[in-house]
Amino acid sequence: MTKFISWNVNGLRACEGKGFSDAFRSLDADFFCLQETKMQQGQLDLAFDGYESYWNYADKKGYSGTAIFARRKPEAVTYGIGIDEHDHEGRVITLDMGTFFLVTVYTPNSQDGLRRLDYRMKWEDDFRAYLMRLDAEKPVIVCGDMNVAHQEIDLKNPKSNRRNAGFTDEERQKFGQLLASGFTDTFRLLHPEQVTYSWWSYRFKAREKNAGWRIDYFVTSERINEKVMEANIHTEIMGSDHCPVELVLDI
């Protein structure tokens, strides 16, 4: 069995001050993927015995950024998706593990007033094409903050959020298009009716009231559905406005 964890830490240095290392050790994953690290090289010396780490930093300081801690050595590591327009924000890392690809992603937010929605749509098409190219070679496991609640069950207040970033028709359709391209939302595969969230606004005591959104995912190539053993959301773990999500694969 192989255990994967994905967590948007919303600033790794801040999260480290709120118990990140303890959570990392207790979750005991083979691969631990991070989004929104918000740091540059050399700003935090964080290492764990038995793990190699891979980092993709945004050009802009204190913004975006991804990382993967891996117990197993990859055959190759790629940063970005090979398109200059998208590859300055540290959003994607791909590990070629020989029998599968592991991709972590921090999908661009459409932002207030949807001012980045057009860019987001371009990103969605280009990122989906990237995943499909990988999938043509071997199975893909993609995880991260994908900044979309796919269905009404995936957020507390769907009606009032209909035209808000993360729950626009356009974003939801793009996620549906990804799934229709041969990929599976692993949490929904195992828990089709379960209502649980992975992100809560810092405003209005949203976490206390559990007024959240499920926007953090493990999406895998459909042909390995039978290898999906567990899919969990660790709502009990604090330290960020997101909580860690988990996948266990027989791989």
Question: Do residues 30 and 70 touch, judged by C-beta distance below 8 A?
Answer: yes
* Residue 63 designated active-site: no
Q: Which residues contact 208 (CB under 8 A, 6 or more apart)?
A: none
Given the residues 145, 154, 185, 241, the one annotated as active site: 145
* Residue 79 designated active-site: no
CA distances from 81 to 36, 67, 148, 165 (A): 17, 15, 20, 23
User: Could you tell me the maximum CA-CA distance found in the chain, to the nearest angstrom?
Assistant: 46
Burial letters 99-133, b for 16+ CB under 10 A, else e: ebbbbbbbbbbbeeeeeebeebbebbeebbebbee
The pair of three-digit structure tokens given for residue 34, joined into one six-digit string: 């991070």
Q: Residue 216: beta bridge partners?
A: 145
SS3 category, 152 = helix
Q: CA-CA distance, 16 to 222, in Å (whole number)?
A: 35
Given the residues 54, 57, 106, 130, the one annotated as active site: 106
Burial of 232 per CB tally in 10 Å (0-12, 13-18, 19+):
middle
**Residue spans of alpha helices (H) in the chain:** 12-16, 20-27, 117-135, 169-180, 186-190, 206-209
Catalytic residues: 106, 145
